A and B are shown apart, each in its own frame.
Chain A
């Protein structure tokens, strides 16, 4: 049996980790929690607060909450879809691409250690040939940087290291990693 006191501490710790200081208008877990039914019914497999955190991380969708699908919560689910959209764009890795700043220099493509692992050409400063490996993270399309897949990103795959090579090396500051 889980000690209730420990459970609250655990929840609070998770909430603290994912609550962000809202200096740039970034949403936090409380903003998401407010729109949930708050029934704590566990039909999604967890209580409402941890579900709010999972929504923010992008690991759950609003549709994963069965009560939210009821007509009386229609406005709530719409609001939630808007709230978690930036989080989805940020992906579970926290990587945000500023397309306006990007000039297609390709530093992210060849500096990313995952790109180098799956595309040998990146080891000598060349972008990979098509078909691009499924596991590559970055590619250039029509002069702009694009994320192909985050499946192997070191920020996403356990043990989830704080790799920031793309952010540090981007000459145009077009890549931002939100923790």
Chain B
């Protein structure tokens, strides 16, 4: 049987959702993955792995293992568990297709369940602060076509999303046709990362120095008359006490910002984590205030917070449209929600790896996943599911807010169920 070549497949390895993947198929199995990075390739190749979960299972007794069951029996047991729970928590929704996320939120509303989302507190703070300052995100297309200065603040994007620089910094855009020759890459981070290795302006600082860097940048731009300090709302500027080397690099960055026509600022994991934001409570406020002031002063600066779970952006859009009846917490707070009688619906989430083991014993878990994890091992009821984007379709939202139609290369098997179908089944059975 000759190889069938499928182009424009969308990769769900990370939030970049590369839509230029090309797959060689034979006997409905992936043979070769073209145009994907190592991370995406591994996910595509896993679709044919013998380690994929295949059969639903039910654990009837705490002391015994799970036994294989039919889908209908497992569904009946799951619905009974959810209906009789004193408290339901739903996790892992950022790893579902857009349609499945909508169903999960509807289910949460119906069950008065709590959504436990990784990085939720951070994202909430980012969104509220952005909203307050009226800033906008940029799309990858805008970065590609327009950006001439790309500043990664606390982001080691090369390791977390290998093709991000390919699509923004190193490629040729409509108004930047010489590609990297006319684009500058700047990195500010706590330690020398591979991303910083490739930067034109590299500012390596201590974690405590980010506030000082921002102050020094504001002062340098104000001194060059590029930024009007009167436009800043935040008057508590703090100290700009830096080493002479760092101070000199910040001046280079300020000069580059002054000369740029379109600067994009990518905020990464070194900033967008609870510990940093707790230690630097006004950093985000000051940074967004500064970006707004630059835009008001006619220097275009756009922003993008970097979250790497493949449909995190879709979940945030869904929560933005949902009613106020949806209760959402950060995954870190999950242990505080666990009481006897709590049932956790884990949708592609391996939450067991992220909370203290002692809080997990005795928990009732309904797990929907395609791969074996500590969570699937612990699950009371297990539903194997298709891999969204590989053997089932739908839509997903890229990190810049653009929705993409997934183009799965593998034809779904008849008895296989997608995340949407399983959730719809649960919803229907709940209504019976």
Q: Which residue of chain B lies nearest to A116 when distances are taken between CB atoms in the complex?
A: B172
**CB-CB contacts below 8 Å: B197-222 with A:** 197-198
Partner of A110, one of B24, B38, B170: B170
Residues of A within 8 A of B332 (CB): none
Contacts A123-B172, A125-B171; A109 near B35 (Cβ below 8 A): yes
Q: In the assembly, what is the distance between CA of A121 and CA of B162, in Å?
A: 19
Rounded to whole Å, the gap between the CB of B341 and the closest CB of chain A is 45
Among B34, B36, B162, B171, the residue within 8 A (CB) of A124 is B171
Known contacts A124-B172, A129-B8, A130-B7; decide if A171 and B194 are in contact (CB<8 Å).
yes
Asked if B40 is at the interface (CB within 8 A of a chain A CB), the reply is yes
Interface contact A125-B34, CB-CB below 8 Å: no
B162 x A105 contact (CB < 8 A): yes
How far, in whole Å, are A106 and B157 apart by their CA atoms in the complex? 14
Known contacts A130-B22, A131-B5, A139-B34; A106/B163 CB under 8 A: yes
The answer to whether B22 touches A103 (Cβ under 8 A) is no
The answer, yes or no, to whether B180 is at the interface (CB within 8 Å) is yes
Q: A111 touching B179 by the CB < 8 A rule?
A: yes
Chain B facing A: main interface SS? mixed
| Cα–Cα distance between A106 and B38 once the two chains are bound (Å) | 10
Q: List 14 A-B contacts (CB under 8 A).
A: A104-B36, A105-B158, A109-B166, A111-B171, A125-B167, A125-B168, A126-B167, A127-B21, A130-B24, A132-B34, A143-B36, A169-B170, A169-B180, A171-B197
A103:B38 contact, CB within 8 angstroms: yes
Contact A105:B166 (CB < 8 A) given known A129-B7, A130-B7: yes
* A contact residues, total (Cβ < 8 Å): 31
Counting from the closest, the 5 A-B pairs by CB-CB distance are: A125-B171, A143-B41, A143-B38, A127-B35, A104-B37
Given contacts A103-B162, A105-B158, A142-B41, are A127 and B34 in contact (CB under 8 A)? Answer: yes
Interface size class of B (residues with CB under 8 A): 35 or more
B42 at the interface (CB under 8 A from A): yes
Does any Cβ of B come within 8 Å of A144's Cβ?
yes
Give chain A nearest CB distance to B304 CB in angstroms: 16
A172 near B: Cβ within 8 Å?
Answer: yes
Q: Which of B32, B165, B167, B172 is A171 in contact with, Cβ under 8 Å?
A: B165
Which A residue's beta carbon lies closest to that of B177?
A: A123
Which B residue sits closest to A121, measured CB to CB?
B20
Nearest Cβ on chain A to B23's Cβ, whole angstroms: 9
Residue among A106, A109, A123, A127 with the highest chain B CB neighbour number at 10 A = A106
Of all chain A residues, the one with the shortest Cβ separation from B158 is A171
